[in-house]
Chain A
Protein backbone atom coordinates (compact mmCIF):
# COMPACT_ATOMS: atom_id res chain seq x y z
CA UNK A 1 0.00 0.00 0.00
CA UNK A 2 2.79 2.46 0.89
CA UNK A 3 4.51 1.65 -2.41
CA UNK A 4 1.36 2.77 -4.14
CA UNK A 5 1.05 5.93 -2.08
CA UNK A 6 4.71 6.71 -2.81
CA UNK A 7 4.16 6.20 -6.52
CA UNK A 8 1.11 8.41 -6.33
CA UNK A 9 3.03 11.18 -4.59
CA UNK A 10 5.84 10.91 -7.12
CA UNK A 11 3.28 11.11 -9.88
CA UNK A 12 1.78 14.29 -8.47
CA UNK A 13 5.25 15.77 -8.12
CA UNK A 14 6.06 14.94 -11.75
CA UNK A 15 2.92 16.77 -12.80
CA UNK A 16 3.41 19.75 -10.50
CA UNK A 17 6.99 20.32 -11.58
CA UNK A 18 6.14 19.83 -15.26
CA UNK A 19 8.69 17.05 -15.57
CA UNK A 20 10.22 17.40 -19.06
CA UNK A 21 9.82 13.74 -19.97
CA UNK A 22 6.15 13.81 -18.93
CA UNK A 23 5.61 17.09 -20.74
CA UNK A 24 7.21 15.78 -23.91
CA UNK A 25 4.90 12.77 -23.99
CA UNK A 26 1.78 14.83 -23.28
CA UNK A 27 2.63 17.41 -25.93
CA UNK A 28 3.24 14.72 -28.55
CA UNK A 29 -0.14 13.14 -27.76
CA UNK A 30 -1.86 16.48 -28.08
CA UNK A 31 -0.01 17.33 -31.29
CA UNK A 32 -0.94 14.01 -32.92
CA UNK A 33 -4.57 13.93 -31.80
CA UNK A 34 -5.33 17.60 -32.37
CA UNK A 35 -3.85 17.48 -35.88
CA UNK A 36 -5.71 14.28 -36.67
CA UNK A 37 -9.01 15.70 -35.38
CA UNK A 38 -8.56 18.91 -37.38
CA UNK A 39 -8.02 16.97 -40.61
CA UNK A 40 -10.74 14.43 -39.82
CA UNK A 41 -13.20 17.23 -39.06
CA UNK A 42 -12.69 18.95 -42.41
CA UNK A 43 -13.24 15.65 -44.21
CA UNK A 44 -16.07 14.65 -41.88
CA UNK A 45 -17.99 17.92 -42.22
CA UNK A 46 -17.84 17.75 -46.02
CA UNK A 47 -18.76 14.06 -46.03
CA UNK A 48 -21.62 14.45 -43.56
CA UNK A 49 -23.02 17.51 -45.30
CA UNK A 50 -22.86 15.87 -48.71
CA UNK A 51 -24.53 12.70 -47.47
CA UNK A 52 -27.35 14.71 -45.96
CA UNK A 53 -28.01 16.94 -48.95
CA UNK A 54 -27.17 15.10 -52.14
CA UNK A 55 -29.39 12.36 -53.50
CA UNK A 56 -27.51 9.65 -55.38
CA UNK A 57 -27.76 5.91 -55.80
CA UNK A 58 -25.99 4.08 -52.99
CA UNK A 59 -26.45 7.02 -50.62
CA UNK A 60 -28.13 4.89 -48.00
CA UNK A 61 -25.42 2.23 -48.20
CA UNK A 62 -22.65 4.80 -47.88
CA UNK A 63 -24.34 6.38 -44.86
CA UNK A 64 -24.66 2.94 -43.27
CA UNK A 65 -20.98 2.22 -43.91
CA UNK A 66 -19.89 5.51 -42.34
CA UNK A 67 -22.11 4.74 -39.36
CA UNK A 68 -20.61 1.27 -39.02
CA UNK A 69 -17.06 2.65 -39.21
CA UNK A 70 -17.75 4.61 -36.02
CA UNK A 71 -17.27 1.30 -34.30
CA UNK A 72 -13.97 0.57 -36.06
CA UNK A 73 -11.60 -0.78 -33.40
CA UNK A 74 -8.60 1.56 -33.27
CA UNK A 75 -6.16 -1.32 -33.33
CA UNK A 76 -7.70 -2.55 -36.59
CA UNK A 77 -7.42 0.93 -38.03
CA UNK A 78 -3.77 0.84 -36.99
CA UNK A 79 -3.30 -2.51 -38.68
CA UNK A 80 -4.88 -1.23 -41.88
CA UNK A 81 -2.68 1.88 -41.98
CA UNK A 82 0.36 -0.25 -41.13
CA UNK A 83 -0.30 -2.44 -44.15
CA UNK A 84 -0.60 0.69 -46.30
CA UNK A 85 2.60 2.28 -45.06
CA UNK A 86 4.85 -0.73 -44.58
CA UNK A 87 7.72 -1.27 -47.00
CA UNK A 88 5.77 -3.91 -48.91
CA UNK A 89 2.61 -1.77 -48.93
CA UNK A 90 1.33 0.59 -51.66
CA UNK A 91 2.51 3.71 -49.81
CA UNK A 92 5.76 2.17 -48.58
CA UNK A 93 7.85 4.61 -50.66
CA UNK A 94 6.75 7.41 -48.37
CA UNK A 95 8.64 5.81 -45.43
CA UNK A 96 6.06 7.10 -43.00
CA UNK A 97 5.89 4.11 -40.70
CA UNK A 98 6.98 4.73 -37.10
CA UNK A 99 6.61 8.49 -37.44
CA UNK A 100 4.08 10.86 -35.85
CA UNK A 101 2.65 11.39 -39.35
CA UNK A 102 1.66 7.73 -39.52
CA UNK A 103 -0.04 8.11 -36.15
CA UNK A 104 -1.94 11.14 -37.40
CA UNK A 105 -3.06 9.21 -40.49
CA UNK A 106 -4.29 6.31 -38.36
CA UNK A 107 -6.23 8.63 -36.05
CA UNK A 108 -7.76 10.45 -39.03
CA UNK A 109 -9.07 7.06 -40.17
CA UNK A 110 -10.61 6.52 -36.72
CA UNK A 111 -12.10 9.98 -36.20
CA UNK A 112 -13.44 10.81 -39.68
CA UNK A 113 -16.38 8.36 -39.51
CA UNK A 114 -17.34 9.69 -36.08
CA UNK A 115 -17.44 13.32 -37.22
CA UNK A 116 -18.94 12.32 -40.57
CA UNK A 117 -21.82 10.29 -39.14
CA UNK A 118 -22.68 12.84 -36.45
CA UNK A 119 -22.48 15.66 -38.99
CA UNK A 120 -24.78 13.81 -41.36
CA UNK A 121 -27.31 13.26 -38.59
CA UNK A 122 -27.18 16.90 -37.52
CA UNK A 123 -27.58 18.12 -41.10
CA UNK A 124 -30.48 15.75 -41.78
CA UNK A 125 -32.29 16.95 -38.68
CA UNK A 126 -31.80 20.58 -39.68
CA UNK A 127 -32.82 19.85 -43.25
CA UNK A 128 -36.22 18.64 -42.07
CA UNK A 129 -36.93 22.13 -40.89
CA UNK A 130 -35.01 24.14 -43.47
CA UNK A 131 -35.30 22.26 -46.75
CA UNK A 132 -38.34 24.02 -48.26
CA UNK A 133 -37.34 27.48 -47.11
CA UNK A 134 -33.77 27.15 -48.42
CA UNK A 135 -34.96 25.87 -51.78
CA UNK A 136 -37.49 28.68 -51.90
CA UNK A 137 -34.65 31.14 -51.31
CA UNK A 138 -32.86 29.61 -54.29
CA UNK A 139 -29.95 28.02 -52.45
CA UNK A 140 -27.72 25.65 -54.42
CA UNK A 141 -26.80 22.31 -52.86
CA UNK A 142 -23.40 23.67 -51.84
CA UNK A 143 -24.98 26.75 -50.28
CA UNK A 144 -27.39 24.50 -48.41
CA UNK A 145 -24.56 22.35 -47.03
CA UNK A 146 -22.62 25.41 -45.86
CA UNK A 147 -25.75 26.88 -44.28
CA UNK A 148 -26.50 23.65 -42.45
CA UNK A 149 -22.92 23.24 -41.25
CA UNK A 150 -22.86 26.73 -39.77
CA UNK A 151 -26.34 26.42 -38.31
CA UNK A 152 -25.48 23.10 -36.73
CA UNK A 153 -22.21 24.41 -35.39
CA UNK A 154 -22.92 23.48 -31.78
CA UNK A 155 -23.76 19.91 -32.69
CA UNK A 156 -20.66 19.83 -34.89
CA UNK A 157 -18.49 21.09 -32.04
CA UNK A 158 -19.92 18.24 -29.98
CA UNK A 159 -19.01 15.78 -32.73
CA UNK A 160 -15.45 17.11 -32.90
CA UNK A 161 -15.08 16.85 -29.13
CA UNK A 162 -16.34 13.27 -29.26
CA UNK A 163 -13.80 12.53 -31.99
CA UNK A 164 -11.01 14.08 -29.97
CA UNK A 165 -12.01 12.10 -26.91
CA UNK A 166 -11.68 8.92 -28.97
CA UNK A 167 -8.34 9.90 -30.48
CA UNK A 168 -6.57 10.99 -27.33
CA UNK A 169 -7.59 7.84 -25.51
CA UNK A 170 -6.78 5.15 -28.04
CA UNK A 171 -3.75 2.90 -27.78
CA UNK A 172 -3.90 0.32 -30.55
CA UNK A 173 -3.51 2.47 -33.65
CA UNK A 174 -0.66 4.66 -32.41
CA UNK A 175 1.09 1.63 -30.97
CA UNK A 176 1.11 -0.28 -34.25
CA UNK A 177 1.96 2.51 -36.69
CA UNK A 178 4.07 4.53 -34.26
CA UNK A 179 6.03 1.81 -32.56
CA UNK A 180 6.17 3.61 -29.19
CA UNK A 181 9.66 4.96 -29.90
CA UNK A 182 11.04 7.09 -27.08
CA UNK A 183 10.92 10.85 -27.83
CA UNK A 184 9.51 10.19 -31.31
CA UNK A 185 6.27 8.29 -31.21
CA UNK A 186 5.58 7.67 -27.55
CA UNK A 187 2.15 9.07 -26.62
CA UNK A 188 0.38 9.10 -23.26
CA UNK A 189 -1.49 5.90 -23.95
CA UNK A 190 1.45 3.90 -25.32
CA UNK A 191 3.69 5.25 -22.56
CA UNK A 192 1.23 4.18 -19.87
CA UNK A 193 1.17 0.69 -21.35
CA UNK A 194 4.98 0.54 -21.50
CA UNK A 195 5.77 2.11 -18.11
CA UNK A 196 3.21 -0.07 -16.34
CA UNK A 197 4.74 -3.21 -17.81
CA UNK A 198 8.19 -1.94 -16.78
CA UNK A 199 6.93 -1.44 -13.25
CA UNK A 200 7.50 2.31 -13.49
CA UNK A 201 4.22 3.04 -11.75
CA UNK A 202 4.88 6.66 -10.85
CA UNK A 203 5.26 7.85 -14.44
CA UNK A 204 2.35 5.67 -15.58
CA UNK A 205 0.18 7.15 -12.84
CA UNK A 206 1.23 10.68 -13.72
CA UNK A 207 0.35 10.12 -17.37
CA UNK A 208 -2.88 8.44 -16.34
CA UNK A 209 -3.90 11.39 -14.21
CA UNK A 210 -3.14 13.87 -17.01
CA UNK A 211 -5.05 11.77 -19.51
CA UNK A 212 -7.98 11.52 -17.14
CA UNK A 213 -8.03 15.26 -16.59
CA UNK A 214 -7.99 15.84 -20.34
CA UNK A 215 -10.80 13.34 -20.87
CA UNK A 216 -12.93 14.92 -18.14
CA UNK A 217 -12.19 18.41 -19.43
CA UNK A 218 -13.33 17.43 -22.91
CA UNK A 219 -16.52 15.99 -21.47
CA UNK A 220 -17.18 19.07 -19.35
CA UNK A 221 -16.60 21.26 -22.41
CA UNK A 222 -19.06 19.14 -24.35
CA UNK A 223 -21.71 19.57 -21.66
CA UNK A 224 -21.27 23.32 -21.43
CA UNK A 225 -21.40 23.71 -25.23
CA UNK A 226 -24.73 21.88 -25.21
CA UNK A 227 -26.11 23.97 -22.38
CA UNK A 228 -24.95 27.20 -24.00
CA UNK A 229 -26.53 26.23 -27.29
CA UNK A 230 -29.88 25.39 -25.71
CA UNK A 231 -29.96 28.57 -23.68
CA UNK A 232 -29.67 30.80 -26.69
CA UNK A 233 -32.01 28.70 -28.83
CA UNK A 234 -29.10 27.72 -31.01
CA UNK A 235 -29.48 24.03 -30.30
Chain B
Protein backbone atom coordinates (compact mmCIF):
# COMPACT_ATOMS: atom_id res chain seq x y z
CA UNK B 1 0.00 0.00 0.00
CA UNK B 2 1.21 3.48 -0.78
CA UNK B 3 -0.34 5.15 2.25
CA UNK B 4 0.28 7.16 4.30
CA UNK B 5 0.86 10.07 1.97
CA UNK B 6 2.93 12.73 3.71
CA UNK B 7 3.54 16.25 2.51
CA UNK B 8 6.28 18.04 4.43
CA UNK B 9 6.79 21.77 4.07
CA UNK B 10 5.72 21.44 0.46
CA UNK B 11 6.30 24.65 -1.45
CA UNK B 12 5.82 25.60 -5.06
CA UNK B 13 6.73 28.95 -6.54
CA UNK B 14 6.04 30.17 -10.04
CA UNK B 15 6.66 33.58 -11.55
CA UNK B 16 7.74 34.87 -8.17
CA UNK B 17 4.48 33.83 -6.59
CA UNK B 18 4.10 31.25 -3.81
CA UNK B 19 1.35 29.07 -5.19
CA UNK B 20 1.76 26.36 -2.55
CA UNK B 21 3.03 27.68 0.75
CA UNK B 22 4.86 25.24 3.01
CA UNK B 23 2.10 22.62 3.22
CA UNK B 24 2.06 19.87 5.80
CA UNK B 25 -0.41 17.05 5.38
CA UNK B 26 -0.77 13.39 6.25
CA UNK B 27 -3.36 11.23 4.51
CA UNK B 28 -3.54 7.86 6.26
CA UNK B 29 -6.98 6.51 5.66
CA UNK B 30 -8.16 4.85 2.48
CA UNK B 31 -11.25 6.16 0.73
CA UNK B 32 -12.03 9.39 -1.04
CA UNK B 33 -10.25 12.57 -0.01
CA UNK B 34 -11.66 15.76 -1.47
CA UNK B 35 -9.49 18.84 -1.89
CA UNK B 36 -11.69 21.92 -1.93
CA UNK B 37 -11.22 25.61 -2.02
CA UNK B 38 -11.93 28.76 -3.97
CA UNK B 39 -10.50 29.29 -7.45
CA UNK B 40 -6.82 30.10 -7.42
CA UNK B 41 -6.28 28.33 -4.10
CA UNK B 42 -3.72 26.04 -5.71
CA UNK B 43 -5.77 22.83 -5.74
CA UNK B 44 -4.84 21.75 -9.25
CA UNK B 45 -1.18 22.60 -8.66
CA UNK B 46 -1.21 20.59 -5.43
CA UNK B 47 -2.66 17.58 -7.22
CA UNK B 48 0.00 17.78 -9.92
CA UNK B 49 2.75 18.08 -7.32
CA UNK B 50 1.54 14.99 -5.47
CA UNK B 51 1.21 13.01 -8.70
CA UNK B 52 4.68 14.07 -9.76
CA UNK B 53 3.76 16.03 -12.88
CA UNK B 54 5.51 19.13 -11.58
CA UNK B 55 8.49 19.33 -9.28
CA UNK B 56 8.16 21.19 -5.98
CA UNK B 57 10.37 24.20 -5.25
CA UNK B 58 11.10 22.69 -1.85
CA UNK B 59 9.65 20.20 0.60
CA UNK B 60 8.95 16.49 0.48
CA UNK B 61 6.30 14.18 -0.83
CA UNK B 62 6.48 10.73 0.75
CA UNK B 63 4.45 7.63 0.04
CA UNK B 64 4.76 5.19 2.95
CA UNK B 65 8.02 6.94 3.71
CA UNK B 66 9.38 6.73 0.16
CA UNK B 67 9.82 9.61 -2.25
CA UNK B 68 8.14 9.30 -5.62
CA UNK B 69 10.05 7.19 -8.12
CA UNK B 70 9.09 5.61 -11.45
CA UNK B 71 7.83 2.42 -9.83
CA UNK B 72 5.57 4.31 -7.46
CA UNK B 73 4.41 6.63 -10.22
CA UNK B 74 3.20 3.67 -12.25
CA UNK B 75 0.89 2.72 -9.42
CA UNK B 76 -0.97 5.99 -9.80
CA UNK B 77 -3.33 7.38 -12.41
CA UNK B 78 -4.97 10.73 -13.07
CA UNK B 79 -8.08 12.06 -14.74
CA UNK B 80 -7.91 15.66 -15.91
CA UNK B 81 -10.58 18.34 -16.02
CA UNK B 82 -10.74 18.24 -19.80
CA UNK B 83 -10.74 14.66 -21.11
CA UNK B 84 -7.52 13.91 -23.01
CA UNK B 85 -8.06 11.24 -25.63
CA UNK B 86 -5.95 10.20 -28.58
CA UNK B 87 -7.08 10.39 -32.17
CA UNK B 88 -8.13 6.78 -32.33
CA UNK B 89 -11.09 4.66 -31.27
CA UNK B 90 -12.36 4.46 -27.70
CA UNK B 91 -11.06 0.91 -27.31
CA UNK B 92 -7.72 1.83 -28.87
CA UNK B 93 -7.22 4.57 -26.28
CA UNK B 94 -7.44 2.09 -23.45
CA UNK B 95 -5.34 -0.40 -25.39
CA UNK B 96 -2.64 2.25 -25.79
CA UNK B 97 -2.56 3.12 -22.08
CA UNK B 98 -2.27 -0.54 -21.11
CA UNK B 99 0.48 -0.97 -23.69
CA UNK B 100 2.50 1.78 -22.01
CA UNK B 101 2.42 -0.27 -18.82
CA UNK B 102 3.71 -3.32 -20.65
CA UNK B 103 0.59 -5.37 -20.02
CA UNK B 104 0.58 -8.38 -22.34
CA UNK B 105 -1.91 -8.63 -25.15
CA UNK B 106 -4.35 -11.20 -23.82
CA UNK B 107 -4.63 -9.40 -20.50
CA UNK B 108 -5.00 -6.13 -22.37
CA UNK B 109 -7.99 -7.42 -24.32
CA UNK B 110 -9.70 -8.47 -21.10
CA UNK B 111 -9.09 -5.12 -19.42
CA UNK B 112 -10.19 -3.09 -22.46
CA UNK B 113 -13.48 -5.00 -22.49
CA UNK B 114 -13.90 -4.52 -18.78
CA UNK B 115 -13.12 -0.82 -18.95
CA UNK B 116 -15.58 -0.17 -21.76
CA UNK B 117 -18.30 -2.00 -19.84
CA UNK B 118 -17.48 0.00 -16.71
CA UNK B 119 -17.86 3.22 -18.67
CA UNK B 120 -21.05 2.02 -20.31
CA UNK B 121 -19.42 2.40 -23.71
CA UNK B 122 -19.34 -1.16 -25.08
CA UNK B 123 -21.39 -0.04 -28.05
CA UNK B 124 -18.93 2.73 -28.87
CA UNK B 125 -15.74 0.68 -28.72
CA UNK B 126 -14.85 1.33 -32.36
CA UNK B 127 -15.94 4.97 -32.49
CA UNK B 128 -13.31 7.70 -32.70
CA UNK B 129 -12.95 8.69 -29.07
CA UNK B 130 -13.01 12.38 -29.83
CA UNK B 131 -16.48 12.37 -31.36
CA UNK B 132 -17.98 11.05 -28.13
CA UNK B 133 -19.85 13.55 -25.99
CA UNK B 134 -18.06 15.33 -23.14
CA UNK B 135 -19.60 13.05 -20.54
CA UNK B 136 -18.81 9.91 -22.51
CA UNK B 137 -15.22 11.05 -23.02
CA UNK B 138 -14.72 11.66 -19.32
CA UNK B 139 -16.26 8.28 -18.45
CA UNK B 140 -13.82 6.75 -20.93
CA UNK B 141 -10.90 8.60 -19.32
CA UNK B 142 -11.92 7.35 -15.90
CA UNK B 143 -12.36 3.80 -17.20
CA UNK B 144 -8.93 4.04 -18.80
CA UNK B 145 -7.38 5.14 -15.52
CA UNK B 146 -9.12 2.34 -13.62
CA UNK B 147 -8.04 -0.27 -16.18
CA UNK B 148 -4.46 0.44 -15.10
CA UNK B 149 -5.44 -0.90 -11.65
CA UNK B 150 -3.79 1.97 -9.78
CA UNK B 151 -3.34 2.15 -6.02
CA UNK B 152 -4.01 5.88 -6.10
CA UNK B 153 -6.36 7.77 -8.41
CA UNK B 154 -6.23 11.54 -8.81
CA UNK B 155 -9.06 13.53 -10.35
CA UNK B 156 -8.94 17.24 -11.15
CA UNK B 157 -12.48 18.65 -11.35
CA UNK B 158 -13.58 15.53 -13.25
CA UNK B 159 -17.18 16.56 -13.80
CA UNK B 160 -16.78 20.32 -14.16
CA UNK B 161 -18.13 20.36 -17.70
CA UNK B 162 -20.00 17.06 -17.71
CA UNK B 163 -23.76 16.44 -17.94
CA UNK B 164 -25.58 15.25 -14.79
CA UNK B 165 -26.15 11.69 -16.03
CA UNK B 166 -22.45 11.19 -16.73
CA UNK B 167 -21.59 12.94 -13.46
CA UNK B 168 -23.71 10.40 -11.62
CA UNK B 169 -22.09 7.52 -13.51
CA UNK B 170 -18.63 8.85 -12.71
CA UNK B 171 -19.39 9.37 -9.03
CA UNK B 172 -20.78 5.82 -8.82
CA UNK B 173 -17.58 4.49 -10.41
CA UNK B 174 -15.49 6.38 -7.87
CA UNK B 175 -17.44 5.05 -4.91
CA UNK B 176 -17.14 1.52 -6.30
CA UNK B 177 -13.42 1.99 -6.92
CA UNK B 178 -12.94 3.22 -3.38
CA UNK B 179 -14.64 0.07 -2.06
CA UNK B 180 -12.16 -1.87 -4.18
CA UNK B 181 -9.35 -0.36 -2.10
CA UNK B 182 -8.15 2.45 -4.35
CA UNK B 183 -7.12 5.68 -2.61
CA UNK B 184 -8.92 8.50 -4.41
CA UNK B 185 -7.98 12.17 -4.24
CA UNK B 186 -10.43 14.50 -5.97
CA UNK B 187 -10.21 18.21 -6.52
CA UNK B 188 -13.63 19.78 -6.81
CA UNK B 189 -15.23 23.13 -6.29
CA UNK B 190 -18.69 21.53 -6.36
CA UNK B 191 -19.79 21.44 -2.73
CA UNK B 192 -22.65 19.05 -3.49
CA UNK B 193 -20.25 16.59 -5.12
CA UNK B 194 -17.88 16.89 -2.18
CA UNK B 195 -20.70 16.08 0.22
CA UNK B 196 -21.65 13.03 -1.85
CA UNK B 197 -18.13 11.64 -2.18
CA UNK B 198 -15.83 12.80 0.57
CA UNK B 199 -14.59 10.73 3.49
CA UNK B 200 -12.23 13.52 4.47
CA UNK B 201 -11.79 17.05 3.22
CA UNK B 202 -8.75 19.24 2.69
CA UNK B 203 -9.70 22.89 2.47
CA UNK B 204 -7.14 24.94 0.62
CA UNK B 205 -6.87 28.71 0.40
CA UNK B 206 -4.01 30.84 -0.92
CA UNK B 207 -1.81 27.76 -1.15
CA UNK B 208 -2.26 26.81 2.50
CA UNK B 209 -4.31 24.15 4.21
CA UNK B 210 -6.86 26.00 6.28
CA UNK B 211 -8.69 22.90 7.45
CA UNK B 212 -8.33 19.14 7.22
CA UNK B 213 -10.66 16.61 8.75
CA UNK B 214 -13.50 14.17 8.41
CA UNK B 215 -16.08 15.23 5.87
CA UNK B 216 -19.03 14.88 8.23
CA UNK B 217 -17.47 17.29 10.66
CA UNK B 218 -16.16 19.69 8.04
CA UNK B 219 -19.58 20.15 6.45
CA UNK B 220 -21.46 20.29 9.75
CA UNK B 221 -19.04 22.51 11.67
CA UNK B 222 -16.41 24.23 9.53
CA UNK B 223 -13.78 25.66 11.86
CA UNK B 224 -12.53 28.54 9.75
CA UNK B 225 -14.18 31.68 8.47
CA UNK B 226 -13.01 30.96 4.94
CA UNK B 227 -14.54 27.49 4.94
CA UNK B 228 -17.79 28.74 6.42
CA UNK B 229 -18.02 31.43 3.75
CA UNK B 230 -17.12 28.94 0.99
CA UNK B 231 -19.70 26.36 2.07
CA UNK B 232 -22.35 29.04 2.28
CA UNK B 233 -21.69 29.84 -1.36
CA UNK B 234 -19.94 33.11 -0.78
CA UNK B 235 -16.85 34.54 -2.47
CA UNK B 236 -13.75 33.81 -0.42
CA UNK B 237 -11.17 36.51 -0.98
Choose from B73, B74, B100, B130 the contact partner of A143 (Cβ within 8 Å). Answer: B100
How distant is the Cα of A151 from the Cα of B73 in the complex, in angstroms? Answer: 25
For A130, what are the chain B residues with a Cβ–Cβ distance below 8 Å?
84, 86
Given the known inter-chain contacts A137-B97, A138-B101, A139-B100, please indicate yes or no for A147 contacting B74, CB distance below 8 A.
no
User: Which chain B residue shows the least CB distance to A144?
Assistant: B100
The verdict on B9 contacting chain A, using a C-beta distance below 8 Å, is no
Minimum CB–CB distance for B106 against chain A, Å: 21
Residues of A within 8 A of B96 (CB): 147
Closest Cβ of chain A to B151, distance in Å, is 13
Which of B70, B78, B80, B128 contacts A233 (CB under 8 A)?
Answer: B128
Tell me the smallest distance from the CB of A180 to a CB of chain B, in Å.
44
Q: Are A138 and B74 in contact, with the CB atoms below 8 A?
A: yes
Of B48, B80, B97, most A-chain CB atoms within 10 Å: B97
Closest chain-B Cβ to A114's Cβ sits at a distance in Å of: 23
Q: Are B97 and A233 in contact (CB under 8 A)?
A: no
CB distance from B147 to the nearest CB of A (A): 11
A3 within 8 A of B: no
Contact A132-B100, Cβ < 8 Å, known A151-B87, A234-B128? no
Min Cβ gap A124→B in Å is 16
Given known contacts A138-B73, A232-B128, A233-B128, A151 and B100 CB-to-CB distance under 8 angstroms:
no
Number of interface residues of B (CB under 8 A): 22
Interface size range on A against B = 10 to 19
**Does chain B have a CB within 8 A of A182?**
no
Cβ contact within 8 Å between B128 and A151: no
Contact B131 A232 (CB under 8 A): yes
Q: Are A133 and B80 neighbours in the complex by a CB distance under 8 Å?
A: yes
Within 8 A of A (CB), among B60-107: 70, 73-74, 76-78, 80, 84, 86-88, 96-97, 100-101
The answer, yes or no, to whether B51 is at the interface (CB within 8 Å) is: yes
Assess whether A135 is interfacial by the CB under 8 Å rule.
Answer: yes
Decide yes or no whether B110 CB sits under 8 A from chain A.
no
Contact (Cβ within 8 A) A132 B87: no
- Report A-chain residues with C-beta under 8 Å of the C-beta of B128: 232-234
When distances are taken between beta carbons in the complex, the residues of chain B under 8 Å from A133 are 78, 80, 84
Residue of A nearest to B51 (CB): A136
Q: Given the complex, which residues of B lie within 8 Å of A132, measured CB to CB? A: 48, 53, 80, 84
CB of A135 within 8 A of CB of B53, answer: yes
Docked complex: B175-204 residues within 8 A CB-CB of A: none
Residue of A130, A132, A151, A153 contacting most chain B CB atoms (<10 Å): A132
Nearest-CB residue, chain B, relative to A235 = B87
Residues of B within 8 A of A135 (CB): 53
Which residue of A136, A138, A147, A232 is within 8 Å of B86 (Cβ)? A147
Of chain A, the residue at the smallest CB distance from B54 is A132
B87 touches A136 (CB 8 A): no
Q: A232-B131, A233-B131 are in contact. Are A136 and B77 (CB under 8 A)?
A: yes
Interface-central residue, B76, B77, B88, B100, by most chain A CB under 10 Å: B100
Q: List chain A residues, Cβ under 8 A from B101.
A: 137-138
Assembled-state Cα–Cα distance A234/B129 (Å): 10
A126's nearest neighbour on chain B, judged by CB, is B87
A13-62: which have CB < 8 Å to B?
Answer: none
Q: Using an 8 Å CB-CB cutoff, how does the interface string of B100-121 with A read, 1 for contact, 0 for none?
A: 1100000000000000000000
| Per-residue contact bits, chain A 201-235, to B (CB 8 Å; 1 contact, 0 not) | 00000000000000000000000000000001110
Known A135-B53, A136-B53, A136-B78: A234·B100 in contact at CB below 8 Å: no
Interface centre among B80, B84, B101 (most CB of A within 10 A): B84
B49 to chain A, nearest CB (A): 13
Q: Which residues of A contact B74 (CB under 8 A)?
A: 138
Smallest CB separation, A132 vs chain B (Å): 6
With A and B bound together, what is the CA distance between A95 and B101 in angstroms?
49
Closest-by-CB residue of B relative to A148 is B86
A-B contact pairs, 13 of them (CB 8 A): A130-B86, A132-B53, A133-B80, A137-B100, A138-B73, A138-B74, A139-B100, A147-B96, A232-B128, A232-B131, A233-B87, A233-B131, A234-B130
Given contacts A137-B97, A138-B70, 10 further A-B contacts (CB under 8 A): A130-B84, A132-B48, A133-B80, A136-B53, A136-B80, A138-B100, A147-B86, A151-B88, A153-B87, A234-B130
